[in-house]
Amino acid sequence: MSSLILIVDDDILILNAVKRLLRRDKRFTILTFNSANDALEKLKTLSPAVILSDMRMPEINGLTFLSKAKEICPDSIRIILSGYADTSLIIDSINLGEIWRYLLKPWDDSNLIQTISNARDLYESRRREEAAQEKIIQLNRRLQNIISSVYDGVLITDSDGFCIITNKAFKNIYPAEIISHPVEDFFTAMHSDKSFEEIISSGKARGTISEIHVDISVGRYDESIHNNAFLVLVIRNITREHEVEQLKSDFVASVSHELRTPLSSIIGFSKMMLRNDSLPVEEQHEFLSIILQEAERLSSLVENVLNLSTIESGVISYSFKPILLRNVIDNTVSTLLSSLKESNIFIDVESTADSTIPGDFHALMQVFVNLLSNAIKFTPAKGNIQIKLHETAETISVSISDTGMGIPENELTHIFDRFYRVKGRNVKGTGIGLHLVQEIIKAHHGEIEVKSTLGEGSIFTISFPVSNRITEIHDISDSHLL
Ligand code: ADP
């Protein structure tokens, strides 16, 4: 690679002599000026590796010229060519960093070539160093960006175990200042079954940091001959997974309980009937109704569990037909008549809607069975349940309100989560009913919302887009005292 060497001298003969001398070296491209001002003008557009200037020139002296050249091209290496008379001035300039070297006139050819060559090498090596540094800065920046975009928390230490890099996800988990602190500070704040040494040697740990559940993996990056290693910690926030695990195990416990209770009464009453041939017909009838009711409870539970698994596996298929919601609701009420009677709950159905919606009858039945079963389950005896169907030009809405125990405000957003159950209630359930309701309504392009006041009751409102109006007129209102 050829480097630009700029030479300034008012004496054309000297200029040409230097030019001839340096031109032999292919590493140099020579540019000469016999006017310092012209050279300064040219420097605005050029960046030479070396500037060689004569000392005594008519416009400005060489030192002033080189000092101005330094302002324009600070990276160029500056050399002055002068006689003995100016040496003290030149030494001052070298000490002030204005120039790099000086060459005496008359010069020695090989000395001049060597000095220019050294200056050129110095310039090029500085340029390479700068480029390498710039590359390191860019790489560093890219690395920082990569680390900060990692979804999990990252914490990196130096070889002495002091924290040097963290990312945003880490700060969300552990907001306290950790940079320049020993990594042990982080482990002290974390609750885990393992000690710091065990975590480092096994490379894995689970624990909690102020109620956040974390899964940590520790990587070691050994620095060649040193024994110490950089530590790279990846900290994953597993609070949600932990909650789901917890909910799942609660679910398994409550499903098995839910299965066992009806099964034991089915078995118990069947045995009683088998053992006693002379049971009065009324009693037989009573026992059989209990068996039927418990079997229906079992069937609805199994249905919910199966539906959950089909929805979760994504293989559910609905058969959409025009559906009159009033029919679905009447069917649901008939199915749940015995529970309503048993709980001594009054139900009222009121409808001003006579349009159909595109829907799957079986799935919609499940929606209303789940909502109505909850309303019955969470409403004390002698309570009221009111179902209202109402339609506008675009939607049909159904509201199911009860005078039950209500739902705490802070849990309203969670009740549609799978396996979620309001805490501290001694009522049977699995926490999948409302999740299924929401999934089925979503598949019908509908919406569900809930309003509730603790101790007063809840209102679940569903709305579906209307498909077409039908001509058949239905009763406007109907009520049953059960
Ligand atoms: P579960 O099997 O527990 O009934 P759901 O998914 O059907 O599960 O309901 C989730 C939770 O929402 C219930 O545990 C219950 O506490 C609350 N909930 C649902 N419906 C009502 C209601 N009508 N009144 C009061 N609480 C209700």
Chunked mean pLDDT (size 10), the chain, 482 residues: 94 94 93 96 96 94 95 96 81 86 92 96 96 95 92 94 94 96 94 91 93 94 68 94 84 82 92 91 91 86 84 81 94 89 94 90 93 96 96 94 96 90 83 92 95 97 75 36 33
Is the distance from the beta carbon of residue 375 to the nearest atom of ligand 1 less than 6 Å? yes
Q: Best of 374, 378, 400, 438 to mutate for ligand 1, by most ligand atoms within 8 A of CB?
A: 374
Please tell me if the CB atom of residue 421 comes closer than 6 angstroms to any atom of ligand 1: yes
Does ligand 1 come within 6 angstroms of the Cβ of 374?
Answer: yes
Distance 435 CA to ligand 1 centre (A): 10
Q: Is the pTM of this model over 0.85?
A: no
Taking the centre of ligand 1 as the mean of its atom positions, its distance from the CA of residue 283, in whole angstroms, is: 33
- Whether the CB of 458 sits within 6 Å of ligand 1: yes
- Could you tell me the distance, in angstroms and rounded to a whole number, from the CA of residue 431 to the centre of ligand 1? 7
Regarding the beta carbon of 434 and ligand 1, being less than 6 Å apart is answered: yes
Ligand 1 pocket check for 103: Cβ under 6 Å: no
**Nearest-atom index, ligand 1, CA of 375:** 23
pLDDT of residue 426: 80
Phi and psi at residue 127, to the nearest 5°: -65, -45
CB 149 within 8 A of CB 83: no
Is the CB of residue 404 below 6 angstroms from any atom belonging to ligand 1?
yes
Q: Is the CB of 407 under 6 A from ligand 1?
A: yes
Query: Residue for token digits 């009065």?
Result: 280
Q: CB of 391 closer than 6 A to ligand 1?
A: no
Is the shortest distance between the CB of 430 and ligand 1 below 6 Å?
yes
Distance (Å) from CA 429 to ligand 1 centroid: 8
Q: Ligand 1 pocket check: which of 301, 387, 413, 415 to mutate, most ligand atoms within 8 Å of Cβ?
A: 415
Distance 426 CA to ligand 1 centre (A): 12
Q: How far is the CA of 251 from the centre of ligand 1 (A)?
A: 14
Looking at residue 354, what is its pLDDT?
86
| 448 CA to centre of ligand 1 in angstroms | 14
Cβ–Cβ under 8 Å, residues 18 and 6: no
Cα 239 to averaged position of ligand 1 atoms, centre (Å): 23
Among protein residues, the one whose CA lies closest to atom 13 of ligand 1: 421
pLDDT at 4: 97
CA distance 85 to 47: 31
Ligand 1 nearest-atom number relative to CA 422? 16
